[in-house]
Amino acid sequence: MIPLTQAEQTSLLHLRNSGTTQQRLALRANILLTLAQALPVVTTAKRLKITPKTVRKWRDRWLEAAECLNAVQNQPDEPLEPLILEVLSDAPRSGKPADFTPEEITQIVALSCEDPSESGRPITQWTQRELADEAEKRGIVKKISHRSVGRFLKRGRSQAPSVAILAHE
């Protein structure tokens, strides 16, 4: 069981019942509202068709934030709902940061639109290796493989055919 103030319950009900609330946030609000009815974790999980682990996670996250929630409610000018949304939002995920910034990728794609002869290259069309070499030479990136360049170019490719389709007259 988790204790909810009237203001918390009102905000959670609003989130759960609003048609514009993301489904994951509505579910999390529903978990807390169900736990507030003094139902055990396993019963709450069965009722909501989710795992007990998920129920425990959101119960614990709510209880960790209880002190902050109470502090906000004691200040009449502070809105409660933004803090509740923050508590119910996904935590930042760990993982390796991207190797290349969106700006670097955009510059490489733009480079591929230039004529290679403008860069002093003795070719008529860019290859992935030539683009990677030119991106390094210009200082767009410190180091990049031709395969990464290929992935960037493939991502931006249109699904339309590269050859015009002529209609029969």
Q: Looking at the structure, do residues 15 and 76 belong to the same domain, yes or no? A: yes
Cα separation, 27 vs 21, in Å, equals 10
Q: Looking at the structure, do residues 148 and 121 belong to the same domain, yes or no? A: yes
CA nearest neighbour of 136 among 124, 125, 153, 148:
148
In this structure, which amino acid lies at residue 42?
Answer: V
Q: Looking at the structure, do residues 83 and 10 belong to the same domain, yes or no? A: yes
Q: Looking at the structure, do residues 23 and 50 belong to the same domain, yes or no? A: yes
Q: Looking at the structure, do residues 19 and 47 belong to the same domain, yes or no? A: yes
In tens, the pLDDT along 18-48 reads 999 999 999 999 999 999 999 999 999 999 9
Q: Looking at the structure, do residues 123 and 148 belong to the same domain, yes or no? A: yes
CA 57 to the chain's CA centroid: 20
pTM over 0.75: no
| pLDDT band, very low/low/confident/very high, at 166 (cuts 50, 70, 90) | low
For 103, the enclosing helix (H) or strand (E) is helix 102-113
- Domain assignment present for residue 38? The answer is yes
| pLDDT band, very low/low/confident/very high, at 169 (cuts 50, 70, 90) | very low
In tens, the pLDDT along 40-64 reads 999 999 999 999 999 999 999 999 9
Query: How many distinct structural domains can be found in the chain?
Result: 2
pLDDT given for residue 70 in this prediction: 84
Q: Looking at the structure, do residues 20 and 65 belong to the same domain, yes or no? A: yes
- Domain assignment present for residue 141? The answer is yes
Give the Cβ contact number of residue 135 at 10 Å: 23
| pLDDT band, very low/low/confident/very high, at 157 (cuts 50, 70, 90) | low
pLDDT given for residue 165 in this prediction: 46
Q: Looking at the structure, do residues 135 and 109 belong to the same domain, yes or no? A: yes
Helix (H, G, I), strand (E, B) or coil at 55: helix
Residues written for the chain: 169
In tens, the pLDDT along 97-128 reads 888 998 999 999 999 999 999 999 999 999 99
Which residue among 30, 57, 88 closes a domain?
Answer: 88
Helix (H, G, I), strand (E, B) or coil at 79: coil
- Domain assignment present for residue 169? The answer is no
The boundaries of the domain holding residue 117 are: 102-154
CA nearest neighbour of 99 among 153, 56, 158, 142:
142
- Domain assignment present for residue 164? The answer is no
